[in-house]
Chains A and B, each alone.
Chain A
């Protein structure tokens, strides 16, 4: 906007002083000097340490240690936050070399005038080192776990990379367990997570692009992608949206998800998240962008399509047939979780003629004496189940079991005996409940669980037509969604035959030649052609037969 304004001003032939740091005006310089006076009063160590104290306050974890160099000519101080640093590095590589005279010959040359250069070049031996121009920059790094070295009489500040803190070990992901496949999940430390990804993709084009969000939390966010695979427009869009986040706190990737998703008012999650390092790596290799957030083990994957939620990373490690069968099963289960109670209610209350007579009779027999209409019964039971589930999740494990026994077994059984609900309804509700747990993605299954209730009510009002009415509204809504330029229902919606097959059938790896077409990646091919290493000519025979024939030949001779 500034530029446009300037251009306009130029057009009008007026002279307008350009704002910002490009100004050469005297006022600007004066103001800068004032700031410098306030924060960097001449470089005197004592005054600047006072300044540090003023800005960080009397926090108990802020450590300021003053000492003199070995020859006593230069006074320095280190500032770090206890608990975020590796004290051994500070001690062995910063404090000791400066204090000790004997370590190098250069130490004797140290004096006030060459302090910065000598310390930087010869004396200290930290792995990472930055020269911060002023205290503000240095303190930013100190608050992330680095160590600042302040030198008496020097305005610039040396900052050493000393980040180290107690984090959770790399552990098996709790939310996405797998029978076969790597057991490493992301942790809360972003550096560990990047290493997990880098270890899986050794390619030079793998990029970690750091951004920061959260004015007070200053959370690190990383966009991870392969430079020559990802679609540039998707990447630009992700960058733009993440950069536009303006909030003071980012505590979990869920915050980011809500800030950057396409339709914030939708019930459906439009960004997939994962705790599994292998899943994130697979997404990156497919041409998607993974967003890592510091302090949370959940990485976001964009763009996302709905059918990703019925896929588990294990599908790709087991044999293709297993993957195919499991995906069909999940698709079925997804439908059960969404509409089974609604269809039951519709059929029992409006379309009894659709059931085979014996089944209808047995259902009618169990419903005898039940005081509620089917829809009320279903709402009651579904509601009870949701309460049970919620109670079980939040309680400690030992108590949780008691809840499920009392709630599920005793109350359920008693309710049937008392004739308040019918056994058929209990079967329907429990089948639905189990189905919701069989959907791999928790966020998708929550959406379906919630949408079950409006469908139930529609079924109670208008029967099967109501169910279809509700489903069509959902279909329309799903069809209207996009995630970063990719239709949410893709590849069912204008995907190629290849993509559709891949979504529902998981072809063998040697047949997976192309990346998903709708991601429009810069490098659409994964491999040159269908390659499956078959036995070389002459090696098709059994080893045993070969050996036996050799022997008989020998006997003849």
Chain B
């Protein structure tokens, strides 16, 4: 067993919450506003809710294969060679998504805070941090996250509360003027982010009470729905849908509008701290999943030797995958969702179907033998 630590269901829920929330909050308002206009908040709500489908699938799979991670039951279900291939493609997915996360992180910091610093500084330092976290293991990531989640939630709530004075409710009406089409199109990206709950399939066996994983996942998704919808509503209520769509990181600009008596101004550091800490946890979770997956696919007893080499791959990818921020945003808006559904919905569904059919067949055979 490459992982010996155990985390509590609560810690797992908090990890999932940060994984599905932290990167989304910064980029999503602009992209959903572009697709869904006034109804962006509906898109976000619906899209994030859709995460319950993959959650149901992976917890069902996990209950059929107790004590096995995603990578292990791939082999159990599909057989040795095809199973390993599918598990490897999951490892690839985690690596690739991680590179995208790291790229988002670097782009935001390089655009908004330290424009003269090269992108690679941010990317490499985040990969270094995540590598360290992965080296320490799941327990440490979960513990550090318990501190970070306080920071993320409280700072988001603070800035949303302080912005209430600028809210203009008229930007939301009329609701669904162009029908459900734009809402559906806008929901693609939120669904992609909430589909990242697939990482729960990897850490589920390491819960102290794996049976409660469903509730941790559900609580995490509910929290994500609330936080993301609140964030999008707040941004839109202040800027209106057109202006929101035109910006790259609306939350960042949104924070600049806060001004309470000329004293409480300049909350950007708070956003940066939140963003860095949240994305760090998210990157660590994906990094961990990739490293653990690779170790399990190849039957290694320890994943730690893989950590550094994976880090090099992630860091290199994060630089070379996209030429600039526009390309990244385009990928996230048009390609990313479908790519994500393949892994968060398609493959798990396939696994579940095969597993169920195999179960049925095995049941029949037993009946035959009995009869």
Give residues in A with beta carbon < 8 Å to B.
350-351, 353-356, 462-465, 468-469, 472-473, 475-476, 478-480, 487, 489, 492-494
Residue in B11, B132, B276 whose beta carbon sits within 8 Å of that of A465 in the complex: B276
**A475 touches which of B121, B144, B263, B266 (Cβ 8 Å):** B144
Chain B residues near A478 (CB, 8 Å)?
144
**Beyond A469-B125, A476-B129, A479-B136, is A489–B143 a contact (Cβ under 8 Å)?**
yes
Determine which of A465, A473, A480, A489 lies in contact with B272 in the assembled complex, contact meaning CB atoms within 8 Å: A465
Q: Is the interface of B mostly helix, strand, loop or mixed?
A: helix
Chain B residues with CB under 8 Å of A464's CB are 113, 269, 272-273
Whether, in the assembled complex, B221 has its beta carbon less than 8 Å from a beta carbon of chain A, the answer is no
Q: Which residue of B lies closest to A466 (CB)?
A: B125
Interface secondary structure of A, over-half rule? helix
CB of A240 to closest CB in B, whole Å: 20
B171 CB within 8 Å of chain A? no
Residue contact A356 to B117, C-beta cutoff 8 Å:
no
Residues of A within 8 A of B10 (CB): 494
Asked whether B121 lies within 8 Å of A492 as measured between CB atoms, the reply is no
Are B122 and A354 interface neighbours, CB within 8 A?
Answer: no
CB–CB A480/B121 < 8 A = no
Q: Which residue of B lies closest to A478 (CB)?
A: B144
Contact residues in A for B136 (Cβ distance below 8 Å):
476, 479-480
B132 touches A354 (CB 8 A): no
A7 shortest CB reach to chain B, Å? 29
Q: Are A475 and B269 in contact (CB under 8 A)?
A: no
- Is B17 engaged at the interface, CB distance under 8 Å to the other chain? no
Determine if A465 and B143 form an interchain contact, defined as CB atoms under 8 angstroms apart.
no
Chain A residues near B146: list those with CB within 8 A.
Answer: 489, 492-494
Given contacts A356-B262, A465-B122, A479-B136, whether A472 and B113 have CB atoms under 8 Å apart is no
A463 partner residues in chain B, CB cutoff 8 A: 113-114
CB distance from A504 to the nearest CB of B (A): 12
* Inter-chain residue pair count (beta carbon < 8 A): 77
| A476 touching B272, Cβ below 8 Å | no
* CB within 8 Å of A: which B263-280 residues: 263, 265-266, 268-269, 272-273, 276-277, 280
Contact of A465 with B109 at beta-carbon distance under 8 Å, contacts A350-B114, A476-B136, A479-B136 already known: yes
A-contact 0/1 string along B130-169, CB 8 Å cutoff: 0011001101110110111000000000000000000000
Given contacts A480-B136, A492-B147, A493-B147, contact A472 B265 (CB under 8 A): no
CA distance A465 to B137 in the complex (A): 24
Would you list 8 pairs from A and B whose C-beta atoms are within 8 A, ordered by A residue?
A: A463-B114, A465-B109, A465-B272, A468-B272, A476-B129, A480-B143, A493-B143, A494-B11
User: How far apart are the CA atoms of A343 and B10 in the complex, in Å?
Assistant: 33
Chain A's nearest CB lies how many Å from the CB of B228?
A: 23
Shortest distance from the beta carbon of A358 to any chain B beta carbon, whole Å? 10
Q: When the two chains form their complex, are residues A465 and B114 in contact, meaning their CB atoms are under 8 A apart?
A: yes
What 1/0 flags go to B74-87 for Cβ under 8 Å of A? 00000000000000
Choose from A354, A469, A487 the contact partner of B269 (Cβ within 8 Å). A354
- A351 CA to B117 CA, complexed, in Å: 13
Interface size for chain B: under 10, 10 to 19, 20 to 34, or 35 or more residues?
A: 20 to 34
Q: How far, in angstroms, from A464 to B267 measured CA to CA in the complex?
A: 13
The answer to whether the Cβ of B120 comes within 8 Å of any Cβ in the partner chain is no
User: What separation, in Å, do the CA atoms of A479 and B277 have in the docked complex?
Assistant: 14
Q: Please give, as numbers and ranges, the residues of chain B lying within 8 Å of A480 by CB-CB distance.
A: 136-137, 139-140, 143
B8 contacts A494, CB within 8 Å?
yes
Distance in angstroms from B216 CB to nearest chain A CB is: 13
A466 → B minimal CB distance (Å): 9
The reply to whether B266 and A472 form a contact with Cβ atoms under 8 Å apart is: no
Complex Cα distance, B266 from A494, in Å, reads: 33
Cα distance A468–B263 in the bound complex, in angstroms? 24
Instruction: List the A side residues contacting B265 at CB < 8 Å.
Output: 356
Closest CB pairs A-B (n = 4)? A479-B143, A479-B144, A480-B140, A493-B143
Residues of A within 8 A of B122 (CB): 465
A351→B280 contact, CB < 8 A: no
Closest to A464 in B: B269
A472 touches B277 (CB 8 A): yes
Q: Is the CB of B276 within 8 A of A468?
A: yes
Q: How far is the CB of A345 from chain B (nearest CB, A)?
A: 14
A489 close to B147 (CB less than 8 A):
yes
Contact with A along B168-186 (1 / 0, CB 8 A): 0000000000000000000
Measured in the bound complex, the distance between the Cα atoms of B141 and A316 in whole Å is 33
Interface pair A462/B121, CB less than 8 Å apart: yes
**Residue of A351, A462, A465, A476 touching B144 (CB-CB under 8 A):** A476
Cα(A353)–Cα(B265), bound, Å: 11
Residues on A with beta carbons closer than 8 Å to the beta carbon of B109: 465
**Could you tell me the distance between the alpha carbons of A469 and B122 in the complex, rounded to whole angstroms?**
10
A351 & B269 in contact (Cβ 8 Å cutoff): yes
Q: How far is the CA of A483 from the CA of B10 in the complex (A)?
A: 22
- If A462-B114, A469-B276, A479-B144 are given as contacts, then 4 extra A-B residue pairs at C-beta distance below 8 Å, sorted by A number, are A356-B262, A479-B143, A492-B146, A494-B11
Task: Name the distance in Å between B341's Cβ and chain A's nearest Cβ.
Answer: 32
